[in-house]
């Protein structure tokens, strides 16, 4: 049983190391954090419903998950092919597009949610 618990703790520690690497190495991740905090503050100000919070959290998590996967793909691609490789470049571009799509979707979700609260903002 001790071994199982130790493995779980180590898995959590490795995940935190990954999150730390992401935040330290990726300016876009820090930007996403700042925007997420601003959105959360605006959400509290607008007194969002439970459903609105759920939708915002899903949108924010979609952006973070794609950013994490994009970073993982970039790091792995650089390890496998340190020199220029057009296929690796294409894979990195496609991974970055996933982040872009998630971010654009999150913006639209935010506009739909906060648009209904627009009079409360002024």
Using only C-alpha atoms, the chain has a radius of gyration, in whole angstroms, of: 18
Angle at 52 between CA 108 and CA 94, to 5 degrees: 35
Are 88 and 77 contacting, i.e. CB atoms less than 8 angstroms apart? yes
Residues with catalytic annotation?
A: 67
């Amino acid at each position: 049983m001790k071994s199982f618990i130790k493995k779980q703790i180590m898995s959590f520690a490795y995940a935190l190391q990954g999150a730390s690497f992401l935040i330290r190495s990726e300016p876009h991740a820090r930007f996403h954090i700042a925007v997420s905090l601003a959105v959360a503050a605006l959400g509290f100000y607008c007194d969002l419903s439970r459903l609105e919070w759920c939708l915002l959290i899903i949108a924010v998590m979609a952006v973070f998950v794609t950013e994490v996967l994009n970073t993982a793909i970039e790091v792995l691609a650089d390890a496998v092919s340190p020199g220029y490789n057009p296929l690796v470049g294409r894979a990195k571009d496609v991974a970055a597009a996933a982040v872009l799509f998630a971010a654009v979707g999150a913006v639209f979700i935010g506009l739909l949610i906060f648009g209904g609260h627009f009079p409360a903002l002024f």
